[in-house]
């Protein structure tokens, strides 16, 4: 099976909240669903939010635009939800990346996506509650509203991964098959090689297994990860209890960051 297998730190889930005394030369990399926004029954249920937009705008000001959103969602979806308020975005787990200067870097879709799109779409049509999502470079089948289908969905996705060479990315109540290539960690590394992120200390905030690559990349570059949501084995060094606490912490950063050189 071709699958994303992040390495996790199995021994520690008892993590403290992240610090507030961050240096100005910090770069923030933020996941969306489960981190900046609550997990909803359907992806389309997440939309623009005034408080989130305000906090992100203040963070971009405090950290001199060194703020990026790195998410499994597509680029148009992220621009809609974020109200166009974030320039630097890693979409579809980093397969599509827009730099702070607006240049978009992406890949060609894997030919195996045609079969995966057809088969997962047929499964969604046959079972009420399953939700098919097409992101052009990946396809996903959500089973949050049909949890009894979890085993069947994952088994079908595993077989498709083996047959096509697509990467199987398991997430929170979703199985996704994506074009091989970048992940959230490599997206972080790419951003850190470009202005205005060069030389900054990275912090990655996320909730899902897909974010472990981001946590590891931040650690390798001298920064750290912040796990949002229920405690679990993780590469992150700190923990917050979901999007509410994440926004509270980010909001407090906008009030304190400017006084730390």
Q: Is the peptide bond before 196 cis (omega within 30 degrees of 0)?
A: yes
CA–CA distance, 197 with 241 (Å, rounded to integer): 27
Q: Is 31 a catalytic residue?
A: yes
Q: Which of 31, 207, 211, 213 is catalytic?
A: 31
Classify residue 33 by its DSSP letter: B
CA–CA distance, 6 with 241 (Å, rounded to integer): 22
Which H/E stretch holds residue 89? strand 88-91
CA–CA distance, 9 with 231 (Å, rounded to integer): 12
Scan for tokens 């199987």, then name that residue: 168
Nearest 5°: CA angle at 37, between 168 and 134?
35
Three-class SS of residue 109? coil
Residue 69 and residue 107 in contact, taking contact as beta carbons nearer than 8 Å: no
In sequence order, what are the residues at sequence separation of 6 or more whose Cβ sits closer than 8 angstroms to the Cβ of residue 229? 34, 207, 241, 242
Catalytic positions: 31
């Amino acid at each position: 099976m071709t699958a994303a297998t992040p390495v996790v730190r199995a021994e520690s889930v008892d993590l403290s909240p992240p610090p507030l005394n961050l240096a100005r030369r910090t770069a923030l990399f933020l996941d969306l669903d489960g981190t900046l926004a609550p997990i909803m029954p359907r992806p389309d249920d997440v939309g623009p939010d005034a408080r989130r937009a305000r906090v992100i705008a203040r963070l971009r000001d405090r950290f001199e635009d060194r703020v990026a959103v790195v998410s499994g969602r597509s680029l148009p979806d992220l621009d809609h939800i974020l109200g166009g308020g974030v320039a630097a975005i890693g979409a579809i787990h980093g397969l599509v990346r827009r730099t702070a200067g607006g240049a978009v870097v992406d890949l060609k879709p894997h030919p195996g996506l045609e079969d995966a799109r057809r088969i997962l779409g047929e499964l969604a049509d046959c079972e009420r509650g399953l939700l098919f999502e097409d992101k052009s470079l990946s396809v996903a089948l959500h089973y949050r509203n049909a949890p009894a289908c979890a085993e069947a969905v994952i088994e079908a996705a595993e077989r498709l991964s083996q047959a096509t060479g697509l990467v199987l990315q398991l997430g929170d109540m979703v199985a996704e098959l994506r074009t091989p290539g970048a992940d959230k960690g490599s997206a972080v590394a790419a951003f850190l090689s470009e202005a205005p992120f060069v030389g900054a200390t990275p912090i990655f905030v996320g909730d899902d297994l897909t974010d472990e690559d981001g946590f590891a990349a931040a650690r390798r570059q001298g920064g750290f990860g912040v796990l949002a949501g229920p405690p679990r084995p993780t590469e992150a060094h700190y923990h917050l209890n979901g999007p509410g606490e994440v926004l509270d912490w980010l909001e407090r950063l906008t009030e304190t960051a400017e006084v730390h050189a």
